[in-house]
Structure 1
Amino acid sequence: MTTNYKLKKLNAGRDYIADNYQAPLSLSDIAKCSCMSPYHFLRVFKDTYGETPNEFLIRLRVEKAKRMLITENWNVSEVCEKVGYISLGSFSSLFLKQVGMAPTLYRRKLWSLSTEVYRFPSQAIPACYAYHFLGKLAN
Structure 2
Amino acid sequence: MTTNYRLKRLNTGRDYIADNYQTPISLSDIAKCSYMSPYHFLRVFKDTYGETPNEFLIRLRLQQAKKMLITENYSVSEVCERVGYSSLGSFSSLFLKQVGVAPTAYRRKLWALSGEAYCFPAQAIPACFAFKFIGKLAK
Could you say whether these structures have the same fold, taking a TM-score greater than 0.5 normalized by the shorter chain as the test?
yes
- Partner of residue 129, structure 2: 133
Q: What RMSD in Å do the two structures reach over aligned CA positions?
A: 1.6
When the two structures are superposed, what TM-score results if normalisation uses the length of structure 2? 0.91
- Partner of residue 84, structure 2: 84
Distance of 1:69 and 1:133 partners within structure 2 = 19
Distance of 1:84 and 1:56 partners within structure 2 = 14
Go from structure 1 to structure 2 and tell me whether the alpha carbon gap of 1:58 and 1:134 turns closer, same or farther (over 3 Å shift). Answer: farther
How far is 1:97 from its partner?
1.3
How far is 1:94 from its partner?
1.0
Amino acid at match of 1:68: M
How far is 1:134 from its partner?
4.1
Go from structure 1 to structure 2 and tell me whether the alpha carbon gap of 1:18 and 1:134 turns closer, same or farther (over 3 Å shift). Answer: farther
- Partner of residue 74, structure 2: 74
Instruction: Say which SS state the counterpart of residue 101 (structure 1) adopts.
Output: coil
- Partner of residue 43, structure 1: 43
Amino acid at match of 1:133: F
Distance of 2:59 and 2:94 partners within structure 1 = 9
Deviation per CA, 1:76-129: give whole Å up to 9, x if none.
000000000000011011111111111001001100100001111134x23xx2
Deviation per CA, 1:30-65: give whole Å up to 9, x if none.
001110000000000001001100000000000000
Identity %: 77
Instruction: Say which SS state the counterpart of residue 3 (structure 1) adopts.
Output: helix
- Is 1:61 aligned with 2:57? no
Q: Extract structure 1 runs of 4+ deviating beyond 2 A.
A: 133-139
Aligned length: 134
Instruction: Say which SS state the counterpart of residue 86 (structure 1) adopts.
Output: coil
- Partner of residue 9, structure 2: 9
Instruction: Say which SS state the counterpart of residue 114 (structure 1) adopts.
Output: coil
Amino acid at match of 2:129: F
Instruction: Say which SS state the counterpart of residue 42 (structure 1) adopts.
Output: helix
How far is 1:133 from its partner?
3.3
Distance of 2:96 and 2:51 partners within structure 1 = 19
Instruction: Say which SS state the counterpart of residue 23 (structure 1) adopts.
Output: coil
